[in-house]
C-alpha cells in the first residue's frame, strides 16, 4: 500500500533525526513547568529538611512529574555540605553506596564554612560562603524539574566563571562558558576526540572566584546519563540535564584548590597506593604475534641499554581473543619461561583482561554460565554482544557469584605454579564496549546494524518484575528516553550493553551503565588481592567513575600518534590526578593509533617520563615504535628514564601523600598561583610533584618554546641555574628532541637518588642526594616517604621531612623503615653556581648539620 506520512509523522521523524546527533528539543520554561513549593521546613544546627510539592499542573516534558519530594541539607564537616532532593517513596534510583560509599560526618551550621538557605514558594535553595556572603550555588529563578526520566537543575554563575573538571574529556582544561555541553555516558571513544563523551564519568567541578581568592567544588553524585550545559544566553549558568536518579550534591568549601581536592578525596575515597616498580618504564604493543617476539623486544631493550621495568602483552596472547586462554603462538611453557626470565632480572609482566567472555564452549564461559553470572535478557537468556572474540557474554558485576567466579579464573589462569604469573593487570573495553550496532538482534552476523533513526521511533521499555527501594521507578522507557543526551553514538544502547537489562538485585543498566568499568575494576582488584593478599595490586583500567582511584589507575585510552594529542594528553592527565583523585595516569607514549614519527616519539618519550604512569604502546598495523627504533628516541629514553628514576622516590612520596590526604601529586599551575590570572588557562605546563614545573616543547618539529614563569624563584633542573620568574613569558631556544624544560620551584628540597639504575629494584640500593632550592626567604622544605615498595600494609615506613633555613639542613620525622642507604650529599642552588657538599647521613633518625661545617666537594 502507498506510504502516507502525516504532518505529525514528519515532525516526529525530524525530531528523531535531530536527536541522533545529540540535540534535544528546546526545554520549555516558565508556567509550563511549575517547580515546587516547600512546606514543613525544619532548620536545626545540623541542617535543613523540607517537604516539596509540585506547585502546579504537571509539565511532563520528558517524563512524568513527581508530585512529592523531600529536601535534605546536612552539614557533614566544616567544609562539606550535602544536599539531596529525592522522591518521598525513595523508589527513584540512587547510586549504590556499595559502589560509592557515602562519607559520614555530622557538623553544625555554626562551625561550617558554608551556609544553606531555602525559599519556600517557589522553592529554591542557595549555598553561600559564610566568610563573605558570596553565593556559590543558587537555583533561584529557575524551576527544578524532577520527572521519572528527567531532572533539570540550574545554578547561576558569575560572569566569565573560571571552571574546571566535569570529565572525562579532552576539551580545554579551563572549561568554556558559552554554548558548552559536557555529556556523561561511558563509551569506547577511539581517538579520544575533543567535544565528545569518552570512557569515564566524573561530574565534579572546581570553581575559582578571583574577587575572594577562593575555590570551591560541586559534585553531583549521579550515574545516569546526563548533559551538563554551561551557557550565558540567559545570564551565566550551569545546568544539569539528567536521565534519572536523584539530585545528590556535595559542596566543598575549600577555600584553596588543594583544599577542595583534599575534601573531594573524602567522597571519592583516597587513591590506592601503587607499587614502587609500577613507576618504572613500561613497554606494550597490540600486535606482538608470538611469545618469541615479546621476548625479542625485551632483549632489544637490554641490548640498547634502555632500562625496561615491565613488559606488557595485549590481547594477542589469547586464543582467538578469548579471555583466560593462551593462543597457539603463546604456549604456556614459553610464556612461563618469559615471565621467569623477567622475574629473574627484577622485571615484571602484565597482560590485558577484557570483560566480554566469548560465547563459546570453553571453560571460562561454561563456568560463568554455570555460576549464572552473565547479564541476561528479559526472557532469562544470556545477553549477547560482539567484541574481539566474536559473540560474547558480559559479567554482571552486581551478581553475588561474580566475585567468586572472577577470583577462580584469576587463581587458575594466573597461578604462579601452573599459569601465567602476572604482576599486575590491565583492563580494556569496560564501558562496556560492544562492536554490535543497535539493535544487535543477531550478533553472530558480522555486519549487524539497523538505521538508528528508524529504531528510535520504536517504543521499548523494560522494568524489574518487582519493586526495590532506590533501584528505579517501574514503567520507564529504558531504551529510548524522551530526553536525548549528546551521546556521540546516538542511542544509549548503541555499541554497548542494552540499557533495559536488569542486573541482579534490580539495578537497571540504564542507571548503572557508567558504573560498569569501576565495578569491574574493584572486582579485579579483589581477585588480585585474593591471589596475593600481602601484595599491593596495580590495575590499569579504561572506564572510570567517582571513586575508581581507590581501586585502580587509568591510561588515557586509544589516542592518536599526532602532535595535537601529545598536547592534549597534558590537560587530560591533569583532570584525573588533580580533580578526580585518580593519580596513576598516563597516555600511550608516542601515540596508539596511526604511525608516529621519530621527532614526535622523541618528544613524547621525554614528556612521558613526567607522567605518573609511563608506557610506550601502539596499535597493530602501525610502524613499530619501541624506544630503540631510532637513535634520537633511544637517546631521549635513556635521558628521560635516568631523570625519572633519580626522581622516583620524590614522585613516589607525592603519590603516597595523595593516598593519605588527597593532595594531588600533579597540579595545574593555577593550583600553586591562583591569584595570578595568567595561570588560569595554562594547560601545557604543570607541576610534577610539589616542586617541579614541567614546560615541554609542544609544537610540531619545534626546537623552541614560550612558557610562563610566575613571579617567583625557579631553578633549571638540568643546569641548576637560578631563573627569576617575573610573571611573564619566557622563550627558550635550541631545545633538541632529547630535552624537556623542567624547573625546580624555589623553597623546595628534592630527595633524588645519586644515580639511576636498570631496574627499580637496583635503584633502591642507591644513596640519596638532596637538591636544595631556596625560596625568596632563603629557606626550603621537602619530604621523603620510604617503605618496602610492594606490601599492602608495610610493616615499617618512614615519613621524613627535610628543612633548610639558609644555614642548617635538618631531617626529622618517623623512621620505621630500615634501609642501608643514606643521604650522601646535598646540593644548594642559588643565584651563583650550585654548590655540593658531602653529608653521609643515615635515614634512620633525626639529624641537623651546619652547612658551613660540611666539606664542599664540587661547584
HEC assignment per residue over 657-702: HHHHHCCCCEEEHHHHCCCCHHHCCCCCCEEECCCEEECCCCCCCC
Element (H, E) at 813: strand 808-815
Is the fold of 33-268 the same as that of 651-858? yes
In the chain, where the domains are located: 33-268, 651-858
Helices (H), 484-515: 509-512
Round the average pLDDT of the chain to a whole number and report it.
94
Q: Which of 150, 118, 156 is nearest to 40 (CA)?
A: 118
pLDDT digits (tens, 9 = 90+) for 160-182: 999 999 999 999 999 999 999 99
Please tell me which residue in 143, 188, 511, 558 is annotated as part of the active site.
558
Any idea what DSSP says for residue 590?
Answer: T
In angstroms, how far apart are the furthest CA atoms of the chain?
102
> Count of alpha carbons within 13 Å of 547, Cβ hemisphere only?
24
Please state which of the four CATH numbers 3.40.50.170, 2.60.120.10, 3.30.70.260, 2.60.40.1180 is assigned to the domain occupying 651-858: 2.60.40.1180
363 in catalytic set: no
Q: How confident is the model at residue 859 (pLDDT cuts 50, 70, 90)?
A: low
558 in catalytic set: yes
Q: How confident is the model at residue 858 (pLDDT cuts 50, 70, 90)?
A: confident
Q: How confident is the model at residue 466 (pLDDT cuts 50, 70, 90)?
A: low
Residue 800 has pLDDT above 90, yes or no: yes
Q: Which of 639, 531, 525 is nearest to 584 (CA)?
A: 525
Residue 456 has pLDDT above 90, yes or no: no
Q: Which of 571, 534, 536 is nearest to 553 (CA)?
A: 536
Residue 425 has pLDDT above 90, yes or no: yes
428 in catalytic set: yes
Q: How confident is the model at residue 460 (pLDDT cuts 50, 70, 90)?
A: very low
Percent of the chain topping pLDDT 70: 94
Q: What is the pLDDT of residue 515?
A: 98
Please tell me which residue in 263, 309, 407, 431 is annotated as part of the active site.
431
CA distance 318 to 431: 21
pLDDT digits (tens, 9 = 90+) for 585-635: 999 999 999 999 999 999 999 999 999 999 999 999 999 999 999 999 999
> Count of alpha carbons within 13 Å of 316, Cβ hemisphere only?
22
| Axis-axis angle for helices 631-646, 648-661 (nearest 10) | 60
Q: How confident is the model at residue 104 (pLDDT cuts 50, 70, 90)?
A: confident
Other CB atoms within 10 Å distance of the CB of residue 121: 12
Residue 637 has pLDDT above 60, yes or no: yes
Q: How confident is the model at residue 17 (pLDDT cuts 50, 70, 90)?
A: very low
CATH topology of domain 33-268: Immunoglobulin-like (2.60.40)
DSSP string, 571-587: HHHHIIIIISS--SEE-
CA distance 814 to 844: 8
pLDDT digits (tens, 9 = 90+) for 272-329: 999 999 999 999 999 999 999 999 999 999 999 999 999 999 999 999 999 999 999 9
Element (H, E) at 342: helix 332-344
CA distance 393 to 402: 13
Residue 672 has φ and ψ, to the nearest 5°, of -90, -20
| Of 456 and 656, the one with more pLDDT | 656
Report pTM: 0.94
pLDDT digits (tens, 9 = 90+) for 544-573: 999 999 999 999 999 999 999 999 999 999
Residue 16 has pLDDT above 80, yes or no: no
Please tell me which residue in 147, 409, 428, 766 is annotated as part of the active site.
428
Residue 4 has pLDDT above 50, yes or no: no
Amino acid at each position: 500500500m502507498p506510504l502516507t506520512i502525516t504532518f505529525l509523522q514528519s515532525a516526529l521523524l525530524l525530531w528523531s533525526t535531530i536527536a541522533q546527533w545529540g540535540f534535544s528539543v528546546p526545554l520549555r520554561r516558565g508556567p509550563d513547568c511549575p517547580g515546587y513549593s516547600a512546606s514543613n521546613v525544619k532548620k536545626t544546627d545540623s541542617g535543613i529538611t523540607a517537604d516539596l510539592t509540585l506547585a502546579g499542573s504537571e509539565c511532563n516534558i520528558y517524563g512524568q512529574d513527581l508530585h512529592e519530594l523531600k529536601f535534605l541539607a546536612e552539614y557533614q564537616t566544616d567544609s562539606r555540605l550535602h544536599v539531596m532532593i529525592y522522591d518521598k517513596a525513595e523508589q527513584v534510583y540512587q547510586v549504590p553506596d556499595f559502589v560509592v560509599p557515602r562519607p559520614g560526618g555530622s557538623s553544625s551550621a555554626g562551625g561550617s564554612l558554608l551556609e544553606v538557605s531555602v525559599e519556600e514558594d517557589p522553592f529554591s535553595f542557595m549555598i553561600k560562603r559564610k566568610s563573605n556572603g558570596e553565593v556559590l550555588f543558587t537555583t533561584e529563578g529557575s524551576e527544578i524539574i524532577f520527572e521519572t526520566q528527567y531532572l533539570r537543575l540550574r545554578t547561576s554563575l558569575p560572569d566569565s566563571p573560571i571552571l574546571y573538571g566535569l570529565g572525562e574529556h579532552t576539551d580545554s582544561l579551563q572549561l568554556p562558558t558559552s554554548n558548552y555541553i559536557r555529556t556523561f555516558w561511558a563509551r569506547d571513544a577511539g581517538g579520544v576526540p575533543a567535544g565528545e563523551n569518552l570512557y569515564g564519568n566524573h561530574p565534579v567541578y572546581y570553581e575559582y572566584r578571583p574577587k575572594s581568592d577562593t575555590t570551591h567544588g560541586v559534585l553531583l553524585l549521579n550515574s545516569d546519563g546526563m548533559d551538563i550545559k554551561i551557557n550565558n544566553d540567559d545570564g551565566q549558568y550551569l545546568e544539569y540535564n539528567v536521565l534519572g536518579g536523584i539530585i545528590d550534591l556535595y559542596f566543598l568549601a575549600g577555600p584553596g584548590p588543594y583544599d577542595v581536592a583534599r575534601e573531594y578525596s573524602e567522597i571519592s575515597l583516597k587513591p590506592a597506593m601503587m607499587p614502587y616498580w609500577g613507576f618504572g618504564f613500561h613497554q606494550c604493543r597490540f600486535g606482538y604475534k608470538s611469545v618469541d617476539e615479546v621476548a625479542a623486544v625485551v632483549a632489544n631493550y637490554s641490548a640498547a641499554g634502555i632500562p625496561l621495568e615491565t613488559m606488557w602483552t595485549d590481547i594477542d596472547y589469547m586464543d582467538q581473543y578469548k579471555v583466560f586462554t593462551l593462543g597457539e603462538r603463546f604456549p604456556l611453557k614459553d610464556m612461563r619461561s618469559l615471565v621467569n626470565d623477567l622475574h629473574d632480572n627484577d622485571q615484571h609482566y602484565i597482560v590485558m583482561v577484557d570483560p566480554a567472555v566469548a560465547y563459546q564452549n570453553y571453560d571460562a564461559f561454561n563456568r560463568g554460565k554455570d555460576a549464572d553470572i552473565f547479564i541476561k535478557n528479559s526472557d532469562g537468556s544470556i545477553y549477547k554482544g560482539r567484541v574481539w572474540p566474536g559473540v560474547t557474554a558480559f559479567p554482571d558485576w552486581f551478581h553475588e557469584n561474580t566475585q567468586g567466579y572472577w577470583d577462580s579464573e584469576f587463581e587458575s589462569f594466573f597461578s604462579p605454579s601452573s599459569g601465567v604469573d602476572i604482576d599486575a593487570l590491565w583492563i580494556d573495553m569496560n564501558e562496556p564496549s560492544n562492536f554490535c550496532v543497535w539493535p544487535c538482534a543477531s550478533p553472530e552476523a558480522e555486519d549487524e546494524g539497523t538505521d538508528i533513526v528508524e529504531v528510535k521511533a520504536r517504543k521499548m521499555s523494560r522494568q524489574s518484575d518487582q519493586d526495590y527501594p532506590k533501584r528505579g521507578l517501574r514503567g520507564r522507557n529504558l531504551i529510548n528516553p524522551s530526553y536525548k543526551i549528546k551521546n556521540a553514538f546516538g542511542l544509549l544502547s548503541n555499541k554497548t550493553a542494552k540499557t533495559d537489562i536488569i542486573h541482579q538485585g534490580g539495578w537497571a543498566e540504564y542507571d548503572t551503565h557508567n558504573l560498569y568499568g569501576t565495578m569491574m575494576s574493584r572486582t579485579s582488584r579483589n581477585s588480585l588481592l585474593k591471589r596475593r593478599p600481602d601484595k599491593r595490586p596495580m590495575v590499569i583500567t579504561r572506564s572510570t567513575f567517582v571513586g575508581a582511584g581507590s581501586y585502580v589507575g587509568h591510561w588515557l585510552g586509544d589516542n592518536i600518534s599526532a602532535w595535537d594529542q601529545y598536547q592534549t594528553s597534558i590537560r587530560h592527565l591533569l583532570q584525573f590526578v588533580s580533580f578526580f583523585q585518580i593519580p596513576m595516569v598516563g597516555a600511550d607514549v608516542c601515540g596508539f593509533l596511526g604511525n608516529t614519527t621519530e621527532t614526535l616519539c622523541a618528544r613524547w618519550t621525554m614528556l612521558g617520563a613526567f607522567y605518573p604512569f609511563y608506557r610506550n604502546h601502539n596499535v597493530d598495523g602501525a610502524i613499530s615504535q619501541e624506544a630503540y627504533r631510532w637513535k634520537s628516541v633511544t637517546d631521549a629514553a635513556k635521558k628521560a628514564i635516568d631523570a625519572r628514576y633519580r626522581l622516583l622516590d620524590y614522585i613516589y612520596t607525592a603519590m603516597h601523600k595523595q593516598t593519605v590526604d588527597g593532595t594531588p601529586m600533579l597540579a595545574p599551575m593555577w593550583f600553586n598561583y591562583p591569584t595570578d590570572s595568567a595561570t588560569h588557562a595554562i594547560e601545557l605546563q604543570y607541576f610534577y610533584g610539589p616542586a617541579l614545573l614541567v614546560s615541554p616543547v609542544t609544537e610540531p618539529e619545534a626546537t623552541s618554546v614560550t612558557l610562563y614563569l610566575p613571579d617567583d624563584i625557579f631553578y633549571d633542573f638540568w643546569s641548576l641555574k637560578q631563573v627569576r620568574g617575573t610573571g611573564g613569558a619566557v622563550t627558550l631556544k635550541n631545545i633538541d628532541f632529547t630535552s624537556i624544560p623542567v624547573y625546580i620551584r624555589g623553597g623546595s628540597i628534592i630527595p633524588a637518588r645519586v644515580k639511576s639504575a636498570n631496574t627499580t629494584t637496583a635503584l633502591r640500593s642507591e644513596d640519596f642526594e638532596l637538591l636544595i632550592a631556596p625560596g625568596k626567604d632563603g629557606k626550603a622544605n621537602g619530604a621523603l616517604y620510604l617503605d618496602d615498595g610492594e606490601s599492602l600494609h608495610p610493616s615499617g615506613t618512614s615519613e621524613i621531612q627535610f628543612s633548610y633555613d639558609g644555614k642548617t639542613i635538618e631531617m626529622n620525622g618517623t623512621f620505621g623503615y630500615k634501609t642501608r642507604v643514606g643521604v650522601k650529599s646535598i646540593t644548594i642552588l642559588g643565584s651563583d653556581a650550585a654548590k655540593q657538599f658531602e653529608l653521609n647521613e643515615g635515614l634512620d633518625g633525626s639529624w641537623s648539620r651546619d652547612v658551613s661545617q660540611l666539606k664542599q666537594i664540587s661547584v
